Structure 1
Amino acid sequence: MTEFFIQEKQLSSVTRTIVKDSKGVPLYLMVGHWGRKGNVLSLYAMDGQIVAYIKQASVILGRKFEIYQDHTKVGVLHKIFHWPGDFYYIQQLHWAVYGDIYNHQYKINHFNQPVMTMDKATLLTGDYYALDVTDPADAPVCICVAAVMDYWLYNRNKRREKETALEITFSQN
C-alpha cells in the first residue's frame, strides 16, 4: 500500500491542494472549483502534467461527477444511498465507495478487493486525510474520489447550517 496525505479541509476547497507522500514530499497539485455544472477539479503531477480530473456533470436530480484519467473518461461517480452509511458507486470501474463520510473514514473496493481506505491522521505539521492506496496506479482516481467525498460532506454541512439558520429565524418571529 502507498500512503498519501492531504491537509484537512483543503481537499475540495477553491485553493490549491498539495498531496504529499509519507515523507512529506509533494506528489500532486489539485486546483479548480465546484458548484456549477461543468466545473472541473484537476490533479497535476509536480512536473506540471495533468494526471486526472473530475468534471461536475449534474447538479439537478442528484450530483454526478465524471472522472478522467490521462484525458480518458474512466467513470461516473454518483450517490446510491446514505442510510445507515453513505454508499457511492462508479459503475465503469466497479468501485463501491462506502463508509462514514462525516468522519472521513471510508473505503473503496473493487468487488471484495480493497482499492483505497481513507482516515484522518494527525502529524507534527497538522491534521491530514490519510489515503492508503493498494495500487499506486489507482492513486490519481482515488484522490479525485476523495475530493468528491469531501465536497459532498462540506456541501451537506452548508445546507444544514442554512436550514438551522432559517429555523432559528422563524422560531424567533
Structure 2
Amino acid sequence: MKFYIKQKVFTLGEKFTVKNEFGEDVYFVEGSFFTFPKNFKITNVFGETVCEIERQMFRLFGHYNIMTSSKTITLKREFSFFRANYSILGIDWHLQGDFFDHNYQVLSGSSPVLSLSKHWFTWGDSYELDIPDHEDEVLALAIAICIDEEIERDQSSHN
C-alpha cells in the first residue's frame, strides 16, 4: 500500500499526518519540541499509540530506539565519510539507496519492506512510501521518520 506524508511548514515541533493512497488519514506523528533527546509518537486514527521513537543521548551519530507493542529495534547511523549509512538492529532488515535525496529502500533479504521517494518542488516536504506488507507499516514508517530527522539534524548543523 502507498502512504503519503506532507510535513507542514512553519510548525513548532514536528506534527504531521500519514495518509493512504485513498487520501484517508491513517497515522498521526508528533515530535517533541522542548524535550531532549527528541522523541516521536505515532498514533492511529483511534488515538492509540502504535509506536514510540526515542533518540539515544550522548551518541556521536544518531541512534533511535523504535518501540511498538510487539517489537523493539534500533536504527543506528554508521560512520562514513561521503554518504550516510544506517544499520537496523533487532530485525533482519537492511537499507540501501540515496538517503540525502530521500530515495531509498528497506529490504528483508532482497524483498522490499519500504520504498521511499521524496516529491520535489512542493510546499513543505512530501514523501511517498510504498509498504507492501500491512504488518510492516508501523516499523517502516518509524524508520523513515528517524532517517528524515537525522538528515534534518545534519542540514541544520551545517547552516
Q: Kindly report structure 1 stretches of 4+ aligned residues shifted beyond 3 Å.
A: 81-85, 124-127
Confirm or deny that 1:15 pairs with 2:14. yes
Partner residue in 2 for 1:165? none
Confirm or deny that 1:90 pairs with 2:88. yes
Q: CA deviation at 1:63?
A: 2.0
Confirm or deny that 1:152 pairs with 2:150. yes
Q: After TM superposition, list the pairs within 5 Å mapping 1:129-168 onto structure 2.
A: 129-161=127-159
Q: CA deviation at 1:25?
A: 0.5
Q: Tell whether the 8 Å contact from 1:14 to 1:33 is kept in structure 2 after alignment.
A: yes
Q: What is the alpha-carbon distance in structure 1 between the residues aligned to residue 119 and residue 155 of structure 2?
A: 21
Q: What is the alpha-carbon distance in structure 2 between the residues aligned to residue 82 and residue 160 of structure 1?
A: 17
**Stretch moving more, 52-61 or 20-29:** 52-61
Q: Tell whether the 8 Å contact from 1:64 to 1:77 is kept in structure 2 after alignment.
A: yes
Q: What is the one-letter code of the residue matched to 1:66?
A: N
Structure whose residues are more often helix by fraction: 1
* Distance change (3 Å), C-alpha of 1:97 and 1:9: farther
Matched residues, percent identical? 23
Number of aligned positions between the proteins = 156
**Pairing partner for 1:128 from 126, 129, 154:** 126
Task: Return the index of the structure with the highest Cα Rg.
Answer: 1
Confirm or deny that 1:80 pairs with 2:78. yes
Q: Tell whether the 8 Å contact from 2:73 to 2:90 is kept in structure 1 after alignment.
A: yes
Q: Tell whether the 8 Å contact from 2:27 to 2:42 is kept in structure 1 after alignment.
A: yes
**Stretch moving more, 40-49 or 84-93:** 84-93
Q: Give the 3-state SS of the residue equivalent to 1:102 in structure 2.
A: coil
Q: Tell whether the 8 Å contact from 1:40 to 1:54 is kept in structure 2 after alignment.
A: yes
Q: What is the alpha-carbon distance in structure 2 between the residues aligned to residue 116 and residue 105 of structure 1?
A: 11
TM-score, structure 2 length as denominator? 0.85
Q: What is the one-letter code of the residue matched to 1:129?
A: Y
